[in-house]
Amino acid sequence: MHNNTAETPHVAGMCNETSCTPPPSSEFSLGVLVLLAFLMVLLALVTILGNILVILAFITDRNLRHRSNYYFLNLAISDFAVGAFCIPLYIPYSLTGKWHLGRGVCKLWLVLDYLLCTASVFSVVLISYDRFLSVTKAVSYRVQQGIISNPVIKMVAIWVFAFLLYCPAILLWEWVAGHSVVAADQCHAEFFYNWYFLLSASTLEFFVPLLSVTYFNVHIFHNIQRRQRHSRTRQREIPRSRNMSWRFRPLPRPGGSPLEAEDSASSSMRPKKESLVTESSSPSRGNSVTAENDFSVSFCSRASSKLQRDKKIAKSLTILVCAFAICWAPYTFLMIIRGACQGACVQDSLYEITFWLLWINSSLNPFLYPLCHVKFRMAFMKILCPRKLATLSSPNTSYF
């Protein structure tokens, strides 16, 4: 995400106290340059189109407009801007090793790249936290489901925090230091080799978010496992309670009717208060145990349905978080190591690969939504294949 901080393999100049030496010009052959340019442009297009699809799905489908999906929209907006602005400006810089757009555009690019990538990370944390609440605190979560101001405030907050984390340093570092260490034909942050700043910022941008989403995921899975055990226990108790209603039914008294025996059995097995209520409402209480069993079956059915939904939530969250960790971890560690050794101990090509993983994460996110969310799949199909969706929605069409 700090693509900006990432020097290209050709931007790997060494730094001293006053300046960074310019990197060598591109050593790629023409064929390799064309291939790299094609792959970079393809990545930008995939990122743009994929995230536009998520944004359009949210706009056109009312079923997606609930609180948790606002955070997916926020993530899609930041990832879309990465593909539309950050990647295209970086492509010629990456291929030639020189920045040709001037100092002002360089500063703007750095600010937006750090801002957008950091906001994308914080959006993943916000999505994880929202899923955590929906699974572990379902009652209070449903109460606040219709309050749109809550997600809006949180979304604005992560953009403000993302801006404060890097952007003031990008804009003011050289003024505080009194000089710039970046060559005129280069474009990277002034703190690119400042190990202390990079470690501090990376802690807030990667390590804390990674620990947070791991914590949320672990608690979600523990909650689901506990409810699974409870559900299995309830399902075993339902047949047992049905058998009990017949096992403890007394025989009719001599001269008494079977209906009286049923009344006696149901009254003896029911708390006194419930017995009084049913006496006034029904002359026969032989079906009272069955009614309780029906309620138990209905309750277990609803609980099982909620449990299945939460399993899908946990699955989608795990995939999203794993993609984030895989794409961010290599870059973060190499960035810190590279800053500590002033770029001498990390191979430039390896660092460049880890750097591009950050932008690949922005292109992957839109494809993770339809993979795990039925509503997103239907919304995407509505946009891309409306005729096919109409055919599937036909009452004569079987889904299985």
**Adjacent-strand bridge partners of 20:** 15
Whether residue 164 is found in the same domain as residue 111? yes
Whether residue 131 is found in the same domain as residue 55? yes
Whether residue 159 is found in the same domain as residue 277? no
Single pTM value for the model: 0.73
Say if 154 falls within a structural domain.
yes
The dihedral formed by the CA atoms of 311, 314, 315 and 321, expressed in degrees to the nearest 10 = 180
pLDDT in tens, 209-264: 999 999 998 888 888 888 777 766 666 665 555 555 444 445 454 444 444 444 44
Asked if residue 70 lies in contact with residue 57, where contact means CB atoms within 8 angstroms, the answer is: no
Whether residue 373 is found in the same domain as residue 284? no
Structure tokens at 171: 């804009």
Burial class from Cβ neighbours inside 10 Å (0-12, 13-18, 19+) for residue 297 reads: middle
Say if 362 falls within a structural domain.
yes
Whether residue 128 is found in the same domain as residue 68? yes
Q: How far is CA 153 from CA 63, 149, 248, 326, in A?
A: 22, 6, 59, 29
Say if 400 falls within a structural domain.
no
Whether residue 54 is found in the same domain as residue 170? yes
Asked if residue 340 lies in contact with residue 195, where contact means CB atoms within 8 angstroms, the answer is: yes
Whether residue 251 is found in the same domain as residue 373? no
Could you list the residue range(s) of the whole structural domain that residue 52 is in? Answer: 30-193+346-389
Gyration radius of the chain's alpha carbons: 30
Q: What is the mean pLDDT of each run of 10 residues along the chain (400 residues)?
A: 42 43 54 90 95 92 83 93 94 90 93 95 91 82 67 92 95 88 88 88 93 90 78 62 50 47 44 41 46 52 65 78 91 88 80 88 87 81 76 47
Say if 47 falls within a structural domain.
yes
Q: What is the pLDDT of residue 259?
A: 40
Whether residue 77 is found in the same domain as residue 183? yes
What is the number of domains present in the chain? 2
Q: How many CB atoms lie within 10 A of CB 105?
A: 13
Judged by DSSP in three states, 15 sits in: strand
Q: What is the pLDDT of residue 308?
A: 72
Say if 49 falls within a structural domain.
yes
Whether residue 37 is found in the same domain as residue 186? yes
Whether residue 39 is found in the same domain as residue 149? yes
Q: What is the pLDDT of residue 16?
A: 45
Cα angle 111, 40, 323; round to 5 = 75
Asked if residue 336 lies in contact with residue 195, where contact means CB atoms within 8 angstroms, the answer is: yes
Asked if residue 155 lies in contact with residue 70, where contact means CB atoms within 8 angstroms, the answer is: yes
Asked if residue 120 lies in contact with residue 82, where contact means CB atoms within 8 angstroms, the answer is: yes
Q: What is the pLDDT of residue 257?
A: 45
Whether residue 128 is found in the same domain as residue 237? no
Q: What is the pLDDT of residue 39?
A: 94
Say if 325 falls within a structural domain.
no
Say if 3 falls within a structural domain.
no
Give me the CATH number covering residue 78: 1.20.1070.10
Whether residue 133 is found in the same domain as residue 261? no
